[in-house]
Amino acid sequence: MSVLDTKTIDDAKVPSIEAKLPRGYLLQDSDGVHVLGTAILREMSGLEEDIIADDKVSFTKRMHRLVGSCLTSLSDDEGHSIVDRSALIKAAPQMLMSDLLVCALRIREVTVGDELRQIVKCPNCTTDDGQPFSWTVRLSLSDFKALPAEGDLTKAVREYTTSRGTRITWAMMTGDMELTHEKKKTSKNKATAALLIRVQTVNDEPATIENLQALSYKERVEIRKLFDQEGGIETEFDVICRECEHEFRVLLAIGGVNFFAPSETSED
């Protein structure tokens, strides 16, 4: 029995927050395919803190478990929804990675607040003892907005023909697909393995490492640009060094247990 199966928390009695998803979960019923683009998420409990703190589990799997545990509903504007606990837990790994990240930010926001303080290190200058100059920046999580997906969102698989005539089908990357990528990726096939997760067929044949490696580099670049249609969330921000005024970008430190805790760093 998994930790999620034993949850006894009454979702109705804890604070919750709405998240607008870049793409949304695909629900198929007798009426067709529906895009459930609105998620309601409750604040974290000790159960979810343990999920995030389990560093023996990959980042992707922790996002599955965190979001599945905190989800209280998925819905669209036409009355279609999922509220059943077991169904929501199963839905989380089928959501796009971009959707999972948006949910993670909103969970942090409803749990400990919108403000995040993060220590950044300048890549351009050092202190007297040779360490990178560092300081604390204050961020507002509400500034990190979802970037909507493009095209027909009800399509799980899309078609494309490259400039050199290669026909492919490809799918937006769900959390489950990301886990598969983590398992198949090696130092020798890293770039191709990332394509293999999304590309389903090449010239009507199942995609393989071999037929993807046979594509020209130009075609591979074309195909990667398709993935921008998945939407997402900007997880980088611009900073200017307080010491040398060097401008650079920093990745939001999402994923670890410290991200989901109240900010305790001092303001330099």
Residue 174 lies in a domain: yes
pLDDT of 3 strictly over 70: no
Looking at the fold, whether 16 and 107 belong to one and the same domain comes out as: yes
Task: Indicate the pTM of the whole model.
Answer: 0.84
Residue 135 lies in a domain: no
Residue 83 lies in a domain: yes
Looking at the fold, whether 108 and 7 belong to one and the same domain comes out as: yes
Residue 100 lies in a domain: yes
**247, 236 in Cβ contact below 8 A?**
no
Q: What share of the chain is helix, strand, coil (3-state, %, to 5)?
A: 35, 30, 30
Q: Are strands 146-147 and 132-140 parallel, antiparallel or unpaired?
A: unpaired
Looking at the fold, whether 90 and 178 belong to one and the same domain comes out as: no
Contacts of 245 (CB under 8 A, 6+ apart): none
HSE, side-chain direction, 13 A CA sphere, residue 215: 29
Residue 248 lies in a domain: no
Q: What is the span of the domain harbouring residue 179?
A: 150-230
Looking at the fold, whether 108 and 157 belong to one and the same domain comes out as: no
Looking at the fold, whether 188 and 107 belong to one and the same domain comes out as: no
Looking at the fold, whether 106 and 155 belong to one and the same domain comes out as: no
Domain count, the chain: 2
Residue 12 lies in a domain: yes
Looking at the fold, whether 8 and 88 belong to one and the same domain comes out as: yes
Percent above pLDDT 90 for the chain:
69
**192, 140 in Cβ contact below 8 A?**
no
Q: What is the tens place of the pLDDT at every residue in 163-209? A: 999 999 999 989 888 887 677 767 678 889 889 989 999 999 999 99
Looking at the fold, whether 101 and 170 belong to one and the same domain comes out as: no
Q: What is the tens place of the pLDDT at every residue in 80-90? A: 999 999 999 99
Residue 203 lies in a domain: yes
